Structure formats: structure tokens, C-alpha cells
Amino acid sequence: MSETETTKVARGADPVTTEIVRQALNAAAEQMKRALIRTSFSPVIYEVLDFAAALYDRDVNLLAQAPTLPTFMGTMSFCVTGAVEAVGGEDALEPGDIILYNVPYGTGSHPQDVAVVMPVFLAEGELIGYSAIKAHWLDIGGKDPYSTDTVDVFQEGTIFPGVKLFSRGRLVSDIYRMATANSRVPKMVAGDINALVVGVRAGATALDRVVGRHTLPVFRECVERMYAAGEAVVRSWFDKLPDGRYLGRGEMDSDGLTEDRVPFEIAIEVKGSDVVVDYTNAPPERPGPINCPVPSTVSATRIAITMLAGGGEAPNEGHFRAIEVLTKPGTLFHPEPPAPCFLYGWAGDQAMEAIYQALFGAMPEAVPACSGGDICALVFWGTRERTREPWTDGGPHAVGQGAHVRGDGQSGLMHISEAATRVTSVEVAEAKNPWIMDRVELAPDSGGAGRHRGGLGVDYSFRFLEDALMTTTVERTKNAPWGLDGGTAARPNALEVELPDGTVTPYSKATRVVLPKDAVVHLHTGGGGGYGAPAERDAAAVLADVRDGYLSEARARADYPHAFGD
């Protein structure tokens, strides 16, 4: 790596002070997260953690992030840049300003994922950075609270194209009233808006405190050293890979409007410590809402690579400097207005799996087999019988993780795109919503076989106590999670609705599914693929899986006959 002004400055910064600054910034981002969790109204925020909280420097480089929703994190710089440009740039910013921004092609998300951006100024008036949160609002006035069949962005929700919610510290009441008026659940949205404001203000105060403690020149020197260290970690990983071009292939079940499969290809070019992830061969943008805007395409790429190459560190801007992403306008991974993109992250999730498939060709021992490959999100809504109050809730669900060269895949965890998020606890879900959970259990035989077994998926059953509606976004129902190095495929995702009369209907992507009282929604999340030939699995491990209920004896005998002397 050639000498640059950045590396010269970084070398001159004191390493101990740099580490103190780095940990202080991480702690500041964590304060933002805690402030939001403690004041938000929606379980999707305080239980699921469907948000991202981050701090940026003046040039919109990532200083620190709280561990929440990874798929949002790589998009946050785009959110800050878009929000600031929309209000007129740096010169239009003043202390106390807070900007609302949710243009999908700028945030990378559907309109319900709203970014709140606050510039941070020193007492003498110098801009030093930004405090930003992007969080999921329960409803923002789209054609449905959650959709799989939108045909343009205008059906997907109210757009706030970068407007000041607070100006010089004072609430712009017209913007606030517009936000709550365009929601089916205005009380919940109002509470979450206030919580977002609390969160970005906490981040701004903490960033100002860190800079004030060390002085701005020392802070900047330490930050540059911090970035250089993060960059070196990622580059050192890619230095170990042979140069070349590696292909990965993915597939979407459908685009939400038709049942046609949507295959795609990603190429990864490694040259020394530089990596280019090339999406330019992607299919044209789709008429249905699976299009993935550029910020989320970049984010998916960063997640997949830094999970492998990031050394387990909390990432900063430096970790992303070795990664270049190429896209082609008007395609699945670079849609242009007004293309629908409500299911933006679903293609991104498949892209992550395809990136790992590609990297298997470069370093087989570095990557896992395919996971369940989806967040299996369900959203429910309706009107409560007793109070006639509107309600909505939902979230992602756990899948099995792919096995790898070092061991079995983990069972019942979130897809890596949501690695730090959670499934709402049964107790909270049942207390707030008109359903009971008949079943939440690991699914025997759902993982792929191999020298190392894939992780298990989960079976969920929701029994409804009142009439309700549902949107299901379940992906990867047609394309089973693949194994690697001789491992077998795992169970794919599936969902069916059992009506009170016993009728059972399968669904994958569907909007506004009617759920009468006593209907049961059965969600079966996918397992992880196996790694290595099943014949190489230790017989004792096979028998332990049967004893523990991970495998049925019949499946074990079929996949691992050597364990039974057959």
C-alpha cells in the first residue's frame, strides 16, 4: 500500500489515545442505541432492534456504530449525504437542526425506514460530524402497512425528501403533524419519532464530549489512525486470497407480482488487497418491489465481506476502503425512480449468500455453506375488538446457519443481514397483540447433512384470537440452501395458513392475507447447508444429534449409514 497523507498522519497519532478515542466513540454509539430503546413505543424497535445508530465525521466517514441491524449500517452514509444535500448542504445547517429523510434510492430502504440526521457543532460553531439513526416505523401511509406487490415507489409510503423536523432546536410542527397524519398508527409513530430525536441528541452530545476531551486536532489525528488500522485489517485478509475473478449465483423466488424466478450473478475480482464486487451483469429492474437500491447493494457487500475480513472488530470507515462496488443503473441492484423497492433487502440477502459462494472458489475454508437465506419477515395488522384501536406488529424470524470447515452451523439465529437483531419475545408479542404462540421450536432434520451439519431452522405457529390481516415476505422457498464441499442442501423456508375449517393454503410473498379468528399461521424457516461429505461425519456426533432430537433416526440412517454400521 503506497504512502498517503492519511497513513502519514495516522502513523503520527498516539496509539493509546487512538484506542481511547475509538472505544469512546463506540460507547457513544451505544448510548444512542440505549436511549432509543428506552424511549421508543414499538416492539420492532425496542425488542427486534430494527434500526441502526451511528456517528460520522464531517466528511461522512463512519466513526462508530452500535451493534443493531447490519443491513442498515452500510447505508447510513448515503442517508446522511442525501439528507444534508436535500436541505441545501453544509451551509444550510445550524446547531439544533434535525433532518427527516426517507427517499428509498438515497436510504436504500423502503419509506418506512426513516433516517433522522443531526449535525454536530462545537460551541464555537464548527461542524464536526453527524449523529444519525435509521429506524423502521410501523406505518407510513403506504397502500398497506407492509407490501409485496407494489408497482411503483408511490404506493410504498409517504416520502420525506430531506426536511427539517427541528430547526435551531425548535420543532417544525407542520412536518411532525404530516408524519403522524400519514400513519395508521399515529400514536406509535409519534412516540418513535420522539425516541429518535432523543437518540440522535444523545449521540451528538457524546460526540461533542469526546472531541472536547481530546481537542479537535488530536481527535482528527486519532480518527485517521483508526481508519488506517481498519483498512489494514481488511486488506491483510484479501492479501491471502489468490488473485482472480470469482462468480457467485443467486436467485429470487419471484418479484412479488409474478411467480417467475429471478436469477442473478455477482463477480468478485481480487487483485492484491483490492476487491471489486461487480453487479453489472444483474437483470433489469423488476416490475415488482424486490429491487435493491444502491445504498443497500453497497451495504450487503460490506456486511458479507467485513463479517469475514473485519477481524471481529466494530467497523469504521477504514474497513470499507478496500471494497469497490460496481453497479449498472436500471438493474435489480441499481433501480431508478420510480421503480418499486419495498422488498429491497431480500435481494441483498441473496447477494450476501452469492458472495460467499463466489469466495468459496478463492478460499474454500473461509466461508460457510448457505444459511436459511432469508429474514422470513411477517407483518400483521387489524383493529382491536374491544377498543377499536388500529394495531400493527411483526418482524423477522430465525433460520439455520450454514456449516463451515470448523464445525456445525448454528441453529435458530438471524440471517447475517440482521445479525444483532432479535425475534420479539413470546411474552411481549402475546401481551401486545391478538395471538398466542402454539409453537416455537427447532425443526428436526431441517439442516443439511455433511462432515459438519447445517444449523436447524425453526417452526413457529401463531394462533389468532381476533380477525387480522397479514403480509408474508418469505423468500427462498424454491431454492434450497446449498451445501459446500460435498455437504447437502437444507430445508427451504415455507409458510401456510390453516383456517378454522381446516383448509390449509401455502404462501410465500403475499399481501393482505385474511386471518379470521382462530386461524393459525405456520412458519417453517429454513436450515443451513452442510459442509463436507456426510460419510466423513463422526459417528458419535450423528448419534448425539439423534439423542438430542436434532435428527430423526430415519433421517440419520439415510444420511449417515456408517454411524449405524449399515
Dihedral angle at the C-alpha atoms of 373, 377, 378, 379, nearest 10 degrees?
Answer: -160
Cβ-based neighbours of 444, under 8 Å, separated by 6 or more: 456, 549, 550, 551, 552, 555
The values of phi and psi at residue 388, to 5°, are: 60, 20
Identify the DSSP state of 444. T
Task: Show the 3-state SS of 420-436.
Answer: CCCCCCHHHHHHHCCEE
The stretches of 291-369 forming alpha helices (DSSP H) are: 294-309, 344-360
The answer to whether 429 touches 393, Cβ cutoff 8 Å, is yes
Q: What gap in Å lies between CA 455 and CA 526, rounded to an integer?
A: 9
Q: What gap in Å lies between CA 209 and CA 128, rounded to an integer?
A: 12
In a 13 Å sphere around the CA of 559, the CA atoms on its Cβ side amount to 34
In a 13 Å sphere around the CA of 374, the CA atoms on its Cβ side amount to 33
Mark the ranges of the chain whose per-residue pLDDT is less than 70.
1-12
Which residue from 185, 188, 206 is spatially nearest to 196, judged by alpha carbons? Answer: 188
- pLDDT for 335 equals 98
Q: What gap in Å lies between CA 452 and CA 209, rounded to an integer?
A: 49
Q: Which cell is 456 given? A: 436447524
pTM comes to 0.94
- pLDDT for 2 equals 45
Q: What gap in Å lies between CA 526 and CA 446, rounded to an integer?
A: 7
CB atoms under 10 Å from CB of 175, counted, come to: 17
Task: Show the 3-state SS of 186-214.
Answer: HHHHHHHHHHHHHHHHHHHHHHHHHHHHH
Angle at 52 between CA 51 and CA 57, to 5 degrees: 155
Mind listing the pLDDT tens digit for each residue in 189-229? Answer: 999 999 999 999 999 999 999 999 999 999 999 999 999 99
Calculate the CA 56 to chain-centre distance: 19
Cβ-based neighbours of 164, under 8 Å, separated by 6 or more: 87, 97, 98, 99, 100, 172, 175
Cβ-based neighbours of 21, under 8 Å, separated by 6 or more: 210, 214, 219, 222, 223, 226
Strand-strand pairing, 435-442 and 458-464? antiparallel
Q: Which cell is 315 given? A: 467497523
Q: What gap in Å lies between CA 18 and CA 10, rounded to an integer?
A: 9
- pLDDT for 8 equals 47
Q: What gap in Å lies between CA 296 and CA 50, rounded to an integer?
A: 15
- Render the burial of 273-310: b for 16+ CB within 10 Å, e for the rest: bebebbbeebeebbbbbbbbbbbbbbbbbbbbbbbbbb
